[in-house]
Amino acid sequence: DAGVTQSPTHLIKTRGQQVTLRCSPISGHKSVSWYQQVLGQGPQFIFQYYEKEERGRGNFPDRFSARQFPNYSSELNVNALLLGDSALYLCASSHHATGFYEQYFGPGTRLTVT
Amino acid sequence: AQSVTQLGSHVSVSEGALVLLRCNYSSSVPPYLFWYVQYPNQGLQLLLKYTSAATLVKGINGFEAEFKKSETSFHLTKPSAHMSDAAEYFCAVLTGTASKLTFGTGTRLQVTL
């Protein structure tokens, strides 16, 4: 079975630009969460989506937005990029039947802002 | 607010030696706790989870963790380290209705010959 997939693998953007990251959950999982992992730190929660509705949001500015599609895939958008947005962006999917407790992570998208 | 603290940002053990990675939690309600492993340039892999059932939890790759309420701890252990265990390990607690994972700062495990 395929795990969580993310695209692209790597991305280089310039300050002020906008970026879109994509995530496909494990088949049967209807919830997707996004995390930001800055080098040398643990991941920080950004969003959780379930059945296309935002279920939770972390302490991130409005420049960060996300959405979930009918096929449960998700996009994370970041506008007006700052140098501090450089990080590994991780997507995790979970199944509602387990109460979303078990979150399975994708390989991440490494974003570099110059 | 629920949080976890990982003691020791770097731990070095010899191959075959006991691995002990420390995690303490802070929670006003019974916590759901997790250990994840991250290999270089990869995502996170779930090692094991505690969800208020058995206090001794067995995970993949020979790892286990014991939930101790009296010590607010959830330390990760493995009896005999292998070179392939070298990685970053994160302790996490599930918080809030959004099923948000709050991670510790991580412990880098080095295994030497």
Task: Please state the rounded mean pLDDT for residues A6-10.
Answer: 97
Q: List the single residue in A55, A106, A107 with the smallest CB-CB distance to B98.
A: A55
Question: How does pLDDT run across A17-59, given as a tens digit for each residue?
Answer: 999 999 999 999 999 999 999 998 999 999 999 999 998 999 9
Question: Which pLDDT score, from 0 to 100, does residue A67 have?
Answer: 97
Cα separation, A82 vs A13, whole angstroms: 10
Give residue A114's pLDDT band: very low, low, confident or very high (50, 70, 90): very high
What number of other Cβ atoms are within 10 A of residue A111's Cβ? Answer: 21
Question: How does pLDDT run across B75-102, given as a tens digit for each residue?
Answer: 999 999 999 999 999 999 987 766 789 9
Interface residue B99 vs chain A (CB under 8 A): yes
On chain B, the residues whose CB falls within 8 A of the CB of A101 are 32, 49, 51, 94, 99
**Higher model confidence: residue A86 or residue A96?**
A86
Per residue, the 3-state secondary structure of chain A, as one string, reads CCCCEEECCEEEECCCCCEEEEEECCCCCCEEEEEEECCCCCCEEEEEEECCEEEEECCCCCCEEEEECCCCCEEEEECCCCHHHCEEEEEEEECHHHCCCCCEECCCEEEEEC
DSSP alpha helices (H): ranges in chain B? none
On chain A, the residues whose CB falls within 8 A of the CB of B32 are 101
Interface residue B92 vs chain A (CB under 8 A): yes
On chain B, the residues whose CB falls within 8 A of the CB of A56 are 96-100
Looking at residue B64, its amino acid is E
Residue labelled with tokens 């395929």 = A2
